């Protein structure tokens, strides 16, 4: 009898050791069903990264602050000399005590094909239909800069969209299209990042 109790005790001890070695207790119901008390590992949730860069600086004449939010195009285009080597387009939303609220685009190398009244460009948000936007040239005559009209409408669409495509005409280069990842814009009433 002592031998059989010893064997039984040894078998139970062996079973416990095997259970521990195999990862502990099971979470199955006694009827072989689904786990009852499973603990899920923690999953780190990250906010989607944004391509927008924010900056601000004081206006020397008023001591008020100018706020900027800028995004660079995902693609570049190749122009002929002297603008060869790849050009990107930067879109900037600005709130300035001196100039007010506006949106402008700037080509890194190249010149927009604009007359004294600017030019029309095409914009497309996500899979929506493309539409024309009137642009005016910079007051100092810079040919690498265009200011877009319809500030409020465009900011609203920028905040709701993931992708923006912009087509504009360049001096001696024709029309080129740039694609922006605009998801995650933080811009409240033109007052800067929040």
pLDDT band at 98 (very low <50, low <70, confident <90, very high): confident
pLDDT in tens, 18-28: 444 444 444 44
Mean pLDDT, rounded, for 54-69: 89
What tens digit of pLDDT does each residue of 108-152 get? 999 999 887 789 999 999 999 999 999 999 988 899 999 999 999
Q: What is the pLDDT of residue 73?
A: 98
Supply angle C-alpha 164, 194, 157, rounded to 5: 25
Res. 6: pLDDT tops 80: no
Q: How is 142-185 classified by DSSP, letter by letter? A: -TTEEEES-HHHHHHHHHH-SEEEEEEEETTTEEEEEEEE-TT-
């Amino acid at each position: 009898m002592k031998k059989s109790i010893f064997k039984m005790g040894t078998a139970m001890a062996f079973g416990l050791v095997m259970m521990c070695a195999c990862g502990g207790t099971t979470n199955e119901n006694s009827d072989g069903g689904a786990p009852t008390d499973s603990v899920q590992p923690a999953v780190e949730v990250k906010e989607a990264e944004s391509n927008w860069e924010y900056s601000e600086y004081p206006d020397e004449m008023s001591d008020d602050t100018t706020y900027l939010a800028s995004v660079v195009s995902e693609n570049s285009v190749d122009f002929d000399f002297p603008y060869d080597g790849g050009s990107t387009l930067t879109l900037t939303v600005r709130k300035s005590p001196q100039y007010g609220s506006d949106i402008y685009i700037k080509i890194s190398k190249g010149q927009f094909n604009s007359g004294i009244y600017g030019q029309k460009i095409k914009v497309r948000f996500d899979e929506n239909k493309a539409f024309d936007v009137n642009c005016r040239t910079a007051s100092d005559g810079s040919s690498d800069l265009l200011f877009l009209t319809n500030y409020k409408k465009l900011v609203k669409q920028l905040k709701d969209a993931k992708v923006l495509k912009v087509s504009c005409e360049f001096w001696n280069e024709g029309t080129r299209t740039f694609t922006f990842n605009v998801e995650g814009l933080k811009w409240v009433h033109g007052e800067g990042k929040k």
